[in-house]
């Protein structure tokens, strides 16, 4: 047999790290899916070329390291217009209803570096709703929020979303919504002015506003079912009557209790509408 180049952590070691992070830094990863968490932690150990004991030591003694750890543990990979069919569905099934509201407040939960929030801003702008809409982007990671607030991405990255954009059926091209400066692309200021990015922890923070739509895509995949249900409850309480909840492409509401509170209006794209009071 060959020897693997990868450092592996046992489930006991993973639990020890979770415990340290909770006690010292107040972040609770206890209800995160274990296989993914294990992979992220092993990646840190590999990138930093450290042992499990070094990892524990650094988590206890270095605040700077914890920030780095947090960035690595929380997956911040995102795309603009990821799943074009979802944006098409929003356009045809959700925006016509949202346009009946005087003010449209959208919460983009787990917004990472802002790509999804700005995709929504573009979509709302194309539907002539931007004057009456406001997008709140939240994440637990302060570093990615800085990126989101800047709204400046590499031109190469923005161009890689061109195919997604075209497939949504929106007019023109994705670069029409950016000011290009050499190899950087800055989101147009009229798109940025209706956005606000701030820290919010889905696990420990509570309702902070009432929304017509909440999008939380590819966040639940990292959570165990019980935690998902606690957050579904938070979303339920944060939505106005008949407000919309949009989960990721593969994130279906499985709980019977919440299937009664959220009606699926697009089963394939996991777009739900709050029912009941």
Partner 1 sequence: MALNSEIIEQWQRSSVLLIGGSAGSFKIIFRMVKSFPHDLNKTVIIVMHRKKNFFSEIEKLFAENSRMLLVEISDKEEIRGNAIYIAPPNYHSLIEANGHFSLDVSDAVWYSKPSIDVTFESAADVYKDKCTAILLSGANQDGAEGLLQLRNAGSLTIAQSPEDAEMADMPKAAINLNAAKYVLTSTDIFSLIQSNT
Contacting positions for partner 1 (CB under 8 A) = 1-2, 4-6, 8, 11, 33-36, 38-40, 75, 77-78, 82-85, 163-164, 167, 218, 220-222, 225, 228, 248-252, 254
> 87 or 244: whose CB is closer to partner 1?
87
Contact 235, 214 (CB under 8 A): yes
> 68 or 251: whose CB is closer to partner 1?
251
Beta strands at 211-216 and 239-247: parallel, antiparallel or unpaired: parallel
> 191 or 271: whose CB is closer to partner 1?
271
Measured over the CA atoms of residue 5, residue 39, residue 28 and residue 225, the dihedral's sign is negative
Find residue 198's DSSP bridge partners: 138
Contact 248, 217 (CB under 8 A): yes
How many CA atoms are closer than 13 Å to the CA of 116, on its beta-carbon side? 29
Closest approach, Cβ 253 to partner 1, in A, equals 10
Query: Cβ of 128: how many Cβ atoms within 10 Å?
Result: 10
> 112 or 138: whose CB is closer to partner 1?
112
Closest approach, Cβ 269 to partner 1, in A, equals 13
Closest approach, Cβ 4 to partner 1, in A, equals 5
The secondary element (H helix, E strand) that includes residue 69 is: helix 63-73
Closest approach, Cβ 143 to partner 1, in A, equals 16
Closest approach, Cβ 237 to partner 1, in A, equals 22
Closest approach, Cβ 22 to partner 1, in A, equals 20
Selection from 27, 31, 30, 71 nearest residue 47 by Cα:
71
> 47 or 181: whose CB is closer to partner 1?
47
| Alpha-carbon span 211 to 209, nearest angstrom | 6
Q: Is 186 helix (H, G, I), strand (E, B) or coil?
A: strand
> 5 or 209: whose CB is closer to partner 1?
5
């Amino acid at each position: 047999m060959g020897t693997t180049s990868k450092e592996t952590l046992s489930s006991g070691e993973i639990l020890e790290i979770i415990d340290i992070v909770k006690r010292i830094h107040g972040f609770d990863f206890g209800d995160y899916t274990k296989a993914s968490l294990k992979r992220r932690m092993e990646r840190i150990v590999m990138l930093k070329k450290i042992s499990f004991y070094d990892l524990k030591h650094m988590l206890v003694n270095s605040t700077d390291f914890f920030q780095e750890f947090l960035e690595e543990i929380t997956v911040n990979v995102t795309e603009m217009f990821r799943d074009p069919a979802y944006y098409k569905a929003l356009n045809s099934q959700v925006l016509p209803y949202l346009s009946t509201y005087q003010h449209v407040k959208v919460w983009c939960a787990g917004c990472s570096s802002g790509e999804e929030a700005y995709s929504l801003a573009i979509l709302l702008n194309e539907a002539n709703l931007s004057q009456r809409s406001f997008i709140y982007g939240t994440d637990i990671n302060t570093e990615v929020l800085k990126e989101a607030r800047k709204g400046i991405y590499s031109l190469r990255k923005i161009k890689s979303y061109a195919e997604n954009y075209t497939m949504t059926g929106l007019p023109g091209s994705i670069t029409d919504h950016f000011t290009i400066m050499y190899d950087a692309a800055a989101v147009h200021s009229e798109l940025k002015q209706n956005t606000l990015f701030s820290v919010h922890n889905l696990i420990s923070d509570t309702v902070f506003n009432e929304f017509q739509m909440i999008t939380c895509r590819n966040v639940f995949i990292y959570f165990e079912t019980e935690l998902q249900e606690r957050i579904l409850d938070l979303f339920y309480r944060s939505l106005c009557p008949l407000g919309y909840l949009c989960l990721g492409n593969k994130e279906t509401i499985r709980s019977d209790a919440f299937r009664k509170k959220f009606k699926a209006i697009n089963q394939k794209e996991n777009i739900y509408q709050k029912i009941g009071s």
